[in-house]
């Protein structure tokens, strides 16, 4: 390309990527961190209640670590794995998931990915075709929007309703679907809302999806992290009603997000996904993309088989306690209301009442000023699709959590509109 | 006889005739992967009718993964480094999406040792193996109508990934008689205003070439002339055992911007660890403008990356660069590549035009006219697998029909045995009267 007779370089960056990545929570959190006051008056530590990283929890699965050490030292897993993953690993994920399913999964139903993040990438890429659209929940986990945009899949949002314990508005969802709708996504236990869907509700979702001729992508990355009234039910249970692609990983339940070990599991006893070419596509995509470290895959059987019930119950106990503390403290902050006590995952969504605050106009401003004045990081709701709400993580050290919430309370009172007496 | 391949849906017909007794053209498939073909060849061995007693052990010279052989074992330092970072429990959480800062710094320093300028840690992005580095490069350059130049023969992931990102691929031939150098005249002919980059693989896969300083400089000057950047796939970096030393393309980064791709996989023999890098070796910031850097970072935000504790081990692995280990690997590779070439000389229907100088593979030309009832490279490889339980990669997979790629990163005695079987196979199928 010539410009004033001087040829300029032919390359430039890919435009879609900017659009895709504006959805990242990490991006917003980084912006908030830039607002932290380096010379905080009281030299207080920064408290981040913005992330979804449980790895600092003191209760840590040493057996998982040992499994990886064995696998590494064995020197059996330094090479390339087969495309879909090390066979023993796939088999053990299949067995693990089958424990709570009416039909047993086989190793052929399981594909290993570098974390559930890559599972999202694969599934959306595979479903994309010109003109297709996908139904995503709002509030949302923005990685779906990012990958949908990048794969040129149109996104349509259905609501999940705070007044109904964050259940899906099924009428709304039905109204959105058309012949070009390929799938719907649900996140259970929910991020960002901390809800856990009931068996009945999931069954209704399955029946609705079947009626619409779409598959269900069940993001169960927080699987089993349910500590409230509703037990965790795998969407795969309804695999004979509607084909289900379940996404999961070791990251949350075993607190090792840095290990990058996730999976896509097909719950589809009727073989519809195979018939419609989805299985072939998943395999093809995996053959051109990267995968989790082989020796970590090699450790999966030991991890899944040997982690004790004791470890699982300890985790749930810690989360329940933290959620309780969080909920109680939030109740004491007038400008914040929590429509539904969290019963799963690591998060809670709370509503901001801006009318009670002086000179704070929206959720992002709230979070920026909070970072500046109190060195606390929480996620503004617009990032997850609900303007003027906030997403708060309760998966933090007890003292940090209490301190953080106390600082938010102080922030409220500093900014509260003066009462006219 | 027909063979339908899973991924490629390529119909091949034997000399006995395909459908309707006609010879069918074999398309150059864009969706055949190396692993896919190798799996099919393996399946042929497994389903072959020889009894257990007669069944020979399978020897695969098909893939660049030497970890199956005990003579190729990573260093104790590498293994210990990872054990320590895992045990520390400090690295179970998420890393920044561009990679841990200490990892980026260590890779920058490691690469800078062989460059005339210093790389900054910000130039380095940590990826899940070189495969992901390839994905990143192509993804950030893709735009409607753009095209990239890739070598032929080459590494099929480039074609597959480009197809996926709607990047048109144009093939530049490598010239066997000239040590597999890039045909730069062809580059001139293929480039247009939509060309964004050219890919070079050095040391070369599948050809085993190691380009000279002069040739690399010419490549840089060609790229500059056409205003395109160079993607330098240096996954086999430093695995050079011939006359030419390994010269990193980044040296010419001030002539034309270079994106350097690499990983721990080959030099440290740990392809399963998935630890690679994508580096902007672009000292004049021709490519890495703030806007582009922003885009690269944002792309990493939506990607999965390598395990954090493996990243954390990298500084130690790179700093305690063990010369003894490296020399040993090189020495084994030199030995096995020599063996390979010597044996091939004994096989009339095979020729190796250029002795490998590096990496782990070489390309061998098949003379099918000297083989009765073998129609092409695919036929050759499938029959060889079935009759001799030896796996070679058909050249079609890497862009050269009627050639085969042979990996020599194999334990010497296995290599000997495998080549002995190949020789006997060729002898058996020879259409020339052999002297006994």
Q: Do A21 and B142 touch (CB under 8 A)?
A: no
**Is residue B249 less than 8 Å (CB to CB) from chain A?**
no
Q: Is the ipTM of this complex over 0.85?
A: no
Q: Do B94 and A13 touch (CB under 8 A)?
A: no
Largest CA distance in chain B: 70
Residue of A nearest to B191 (CA): A10
- What is the pLDDT, as a whole number, of residue B29? 45
Residue of B nearest to A254 (CA): B92
Residues B265-323 have pLDDT tens digits of 999 999 899 999 999 999 999 999 999 999 899 889 888 789 999 999 999 999 987 88
Q: How far apart are the CA of A66 and the nearest CA of chain B, in angstroms?
A: 9
**Is residue B91 less than 8 Å (CB to CB) from chain A?**
yes
- What is the pLDDT, as a whole number, of residue A17? 66
Residues A333-373 have pLDDT tens digits of 999 999 999 999 999 999 999 999 999 999 999 999 999 99
- What is the pLDDT, as a whole number, of residue B5? 33
Q: Which of A119, A150, A160, A316 is nearest to A226 (CA)?
A: A316
pLDDT grade, residue B34 (50/70/90)?
A: confident
**Is residue B162 less than 8 Å (CB to CB) from chain A?**
no
- What is the pLDDT, as a whole number, of residue A267? 96
Tokens of A340: 């539904």
Q: Indicate the residue of A11, A150, A258 with minimum beta-carbon distance to B93.
A: A258
SS3 letters across chain B: CEEECCCCCCEEECCCCCHHHCCCCCCCCCCCCHHHHHHHHHHHHHCCCCCCCCCCCCEECCCCCHHHCCCCCCCHHHHHHHHHHHHHCCCCCCCCCCCCHHHHHHHHHHHHCCCCCCCCHHHEEEECHHHHHHHHHHHHHCCCCCEEEEEECCCCHHHHHHHHCCCEEEEEEEEHHHCCEECHHHHHHHCCCCEEEEEEECCCCCCCCCCCHHHHHHHHHHHHHHCCEEEEECCCCCCECCCCCCCCHHHHCCCCCEEEEEECCCCCCCHHHCCEEEEEECCCCCCCCHHHHHHHHHHHHCCCCCCHHHHHHHHHHHHCCCHHHHHHHHHHHHHHHHHHHHHHHCCCCEECCCCCCECCEEEEEECHHHECCCCCHHHHHHHHHHHHCEECEEHHHHCCCCEEEEECCCCHHHHHHHHHHHHHHHHHCECCCCCC
Q: At what angle do helices B412-428 and B377-388 cross, to 10 degrees?
A: 110
Residue of A nearest to B230 (CA): A11
Confidence check: pLDDT of B27 > 80: no
Query: What mean pLDDT comes out for the span A26-30?
Result: 84
Confidence check: pLDDT of A202 > 80: yes
Which B residues in the span 96-135 are in contact with A, Cβ-Cβ below 8 Å?
97, 127-129, 131-132, 135
Mean per-residue pLDDT of chain B: 88
Q: Which range is least confidently modeled, A109-118, A192-201, B300-309?
A: B300-309
Residues A368-417 have pLDDT tens digits of 999 999 999 999 999 999 999 999 999 888 888 999 999 999 999 999 98
- What is the pLDDT, as a whole number, of residue A6? 53
Confidence check: pLDDT of A52 > 50: yes
Most A CBs within 10 A among B271, B301, B314, hence the mutation to make, goes to B301
- What is the pLDDT, as a whole number, of residue B127? 96
Q: Residue A1: its chain B contacts at CB < 8 A? A: 193
Most B CBs within 10 A among A289, A299, A383, A395, hence the mutation to make, goes to A289
Q: Which of B232, B216, B211 is nearest to B279 (CA)?
A: B232
Check: CB of residue A330 under 8 Å from CB of residue A350. yes
**Is residue B143 less than 8 Å (CB to CB) from chain A?**
yes
Q: Residue A115: its chain B contacts at CB < 8 A? A: 304
Residue of B nearest to A125 (CA): B164
Check: CB of residue A228 under 8 Å from CB of residue A195. no
- What is the pLDDT, as a whole number, of residue B298? 87
Residues B136-150 have pLDDT tens digits of 999 999 989 999 999
Q: Do A258 and B296 touch (CB under 8 A)?
A: no
Query: What mean pLDDT comes out for the span A56-68?
Result: 74
Q: Do B83 and A296 touch (CB under 8 A)?
A: no
For residue A12, CA distances in Å to A15, B137, B299 come to 9, 12, 14
Q: Residue B139: its chain A contacts at CB < 8 A? A: 14, 17
Confidence check: pLDDT of A65 > 60: yes
The span from the CA of B265 to the CA of B246, in Å, is 17
Q: What torsion do the CA atoms of A181, A184, A185, A189 make, to the nearest 10 degrees? A: 170
Confidence check: pLDDT of B217 > 90: yes
Higher pLDDT, A189 or A31: A189
Task: For chains A and B, count residue pairs whose Cβ atoms are closer than 8 Å.
Answer: 198
- What is the pLDDT, as a whole number, of residue B207? 95
The span from the CA of B212 to the CA of B179, in Å, is 10
Q: Indicate the residue of A51, A69, A79 with minimum beta-carbon distance to B83.
A: A69
The span from the CA of A291 to the CA of A294, in Å, is 8
Residue of B nearest to A256 (CA): B92
Q: Do B273 and A73 touch (CB under 8 A)?
A: no
């Amino acid at each position: 390309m010539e410009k004033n007779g001087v040829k300029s370089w032919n390359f430039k960056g890919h435009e879609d990527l900017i659009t895709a990545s504006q959805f990242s929570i990490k991006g917003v959190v980084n912006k908030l961190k830039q607002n932290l006051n380096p010379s905080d008056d009281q030299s207080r530590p920064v408290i981040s209640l913005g992330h979804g990283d449980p790895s600092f929890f003191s209760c840590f699965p040493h057996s998982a670590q040992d499994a990886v050490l064995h696998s590494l030292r064995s020197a059996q897993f330094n090479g390339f794995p087969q495309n879909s993953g090390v066979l023993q690993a796939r088999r053990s994920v299949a067995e693990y998931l089958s424990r709570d399913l009416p039909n047993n999964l086989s190793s052929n139903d399981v594909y290993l990915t570098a974390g559930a993040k890559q599972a999202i990438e694969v599934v959306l890429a595979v479903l994309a075709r010109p003109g297709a659209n996908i139904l995503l929940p709002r509030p949302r986990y923005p990685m779906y929007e990012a990958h949908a945009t990048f794969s040129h899949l149109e996104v349509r949002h259905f609501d999940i309703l705070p007044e109904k314990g964050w259940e899906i508005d099924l009428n709304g969802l039905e109204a959105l679907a058309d012949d070009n709708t390929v799938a719907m996504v649900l996140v259970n236990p929910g991020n960002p809302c901390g809800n856990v869907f009931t068996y009945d509700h999931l069954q209704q979702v399955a029946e609705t999806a079947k009626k619409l001729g779409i598959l269900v992508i069940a993001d169960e990355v927080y699987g089993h992290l349910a500590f409230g009234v509703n037990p965790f039910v795998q969407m795969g249970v309804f695999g004979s009603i509607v084909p289900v692609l379940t996404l999961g990983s070791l990251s949350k339940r075993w607190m090792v997000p840095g290990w990058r070990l996730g999976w896509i599991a097909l719950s589809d006893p009727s073989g519809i996904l195979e018939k419609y070419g989805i299985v072939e596509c998943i395999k093809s995509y995996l053959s051109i993309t990267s995968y989790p470290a082989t020796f970590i895959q090699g450790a999966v059987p030991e991890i899944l088989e040997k982690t004790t019930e004791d470890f699982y119950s300890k985790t749930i106990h810690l989360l329940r306690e933290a959620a309780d503390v969080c909920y109680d403290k939030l109740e004491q902050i007038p400008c914040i209301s929590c429509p539904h006590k969290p019963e799963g995952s690591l998060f809670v969504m709370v509503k901001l009442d801006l009318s009670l605050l002086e000179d704070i106009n929206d959720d992002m401003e709230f979070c920026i000023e909070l970072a500046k004045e109190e060195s606390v990081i929480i996620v503004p709701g617009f990032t997850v699709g609900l303007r003027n709400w906030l997403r708060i993580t309760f998966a933090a050290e007890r003292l940090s959590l209490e301190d953080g919430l106390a600082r938010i309370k102080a922030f409220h009172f500093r900014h509260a509109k003066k009462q006219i007496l | 006889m027909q063979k339908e391949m899973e991924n490629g849906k390529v119909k091949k017909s034997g000399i006995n005739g395909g459908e309707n007794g006609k010879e069918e053209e074999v398309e150059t498939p864009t969706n055949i992967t190396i692993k896919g073909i190798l799996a099919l060849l393996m399946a042929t061995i497994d389903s072959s009718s020889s009894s257990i007693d007669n069944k020979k052990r399978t020897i695969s010279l098909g893939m660049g993964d030497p970890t199956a052989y005990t003579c190729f074992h990573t260093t104790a330092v590498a293994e210990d480094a990872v054990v320590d970072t895992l045990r520390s429990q400090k690295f179970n959480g998420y890393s920044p999406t561009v990679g841990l800062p200490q990892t980026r710094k260590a890779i920058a320093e490691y690469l800078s040792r062989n460059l005339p300028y210093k790389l900054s840690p910000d130039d380095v992005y940590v990826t899940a193996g070189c495969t992901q580095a390839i994905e990143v490069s192509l993804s950030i350059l893709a735009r409607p109508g753009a095209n990239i130049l890739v070598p032929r023969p080459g590494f099929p992931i480039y074609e597959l990934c480009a197809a996926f990102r709607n990047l048109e691929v144009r093939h530049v031939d490598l010239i066997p008689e000239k040590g597999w150098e890039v045909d730069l005249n062809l580059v001139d002919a293929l480039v247009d205003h939509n060309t964004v980059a050219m890919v070079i693989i050095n040391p070369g896969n599948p050809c085993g070439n190691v380009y000279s300083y002069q040739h690399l400089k010419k490549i840089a000057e060609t790229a500059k002339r056409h205003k395109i950047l160079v993607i330098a796939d240096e996954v086999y970096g430093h695995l050079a055992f011939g006359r030419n030393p390994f010269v990193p393309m980044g040296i010419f980064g001030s002539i034309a911007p270079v994106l350097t791709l690499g990983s721990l996989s080959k030099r440290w023999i740990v392809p399963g660890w998935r630890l690679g890098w994508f580096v902007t070796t672009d000292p004049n910031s021709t490519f890495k403008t703030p806007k582009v850097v922003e885009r690269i970072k944002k792309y990493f935000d939506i990607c999965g990356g390598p395990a954090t504790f493996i990243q954390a081990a990298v500084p130690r692995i790179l700093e305690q660069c063990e010369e003894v280990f490296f020399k040993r690997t090189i020495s084994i590779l030199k030995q096995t590549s020599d063996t390979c070439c010597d044996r091939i000389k004994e096989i009339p229907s095979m020729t190796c035009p250029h002795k490998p100088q590096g990496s782990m593979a070489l390309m061998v030309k098949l003379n099918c006219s000297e083989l009765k009832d073998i129609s092409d490279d695919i036929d050759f490889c499938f029959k060889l697998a079935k009759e001799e339980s030896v796996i070679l990669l058909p050249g079609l997979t890497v862009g050269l029909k009627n050639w085969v790629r042979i990996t020599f990163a194999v334990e010497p005695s296995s290599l000997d045995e495998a080549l002995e079987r190949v020789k006997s196979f060729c002898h058996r199928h020879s259409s020339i009267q052999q002297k006994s």
